[in-house]
């Protein structure tokens, strides 16, 4: 089983100097949290937002 409420979107870079390979994860948030501790548990329907490094024209 896994999460059921996942949103995937391109990451909006704050600075043009920030680098990353297109398609790699830039950030992951679960119910608004972006820092996790060992053994954190979340409900299956928790909101998950994955931002990825997009292409320059995205």
Please indicate, yes or no, if residue 19 is contained in any of the structural domains: yes
Q: Is residue 46 part of a domain?
A: yes
Is pLDDT of 2 > 70? yes
Q: Is residue 58 one of the residues assigned to a domain?
A: no
Rg from Cα positions in the chain: 13
Q: Does residue 14 lie in a domain region?
A: yes
Q: 9 in a domain, yes or no?
A: yes
Order the strands of the 25-30 sheet from edge to edge. Answer: 5-10, 47-52, 25-30
Domain span holding position 31 = 5-52
The number of domains in the chain is 1
Question: pLDDT digit string (tens) for 5-55?
Answer: 999 998 876 555 566 788 888 899 999 999 999 999 999 999 999 999 877
Distance separating alpha carbons of residues 56 and 58, to the nearest angstrom = 6
Residue 29 resides in a domain: yes
37, part of any domain: yes
| Inside any domain, residue 57 | no
Q: pTM of this prediction?
A: 0.76
């Amino acid at each position: 089983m896994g999460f059921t409420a996942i949103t995937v979107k391109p990451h909006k870079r704050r600075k043009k100097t920030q680098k990353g390979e297109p398609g790699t994860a830039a950030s992951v948030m679960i119910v608004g949290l972006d820092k996790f501790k060992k053994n954190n548990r979340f409900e299956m329907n928790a909101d998950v937002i994955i931002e990825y490094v997009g292409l320059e024209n995205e």
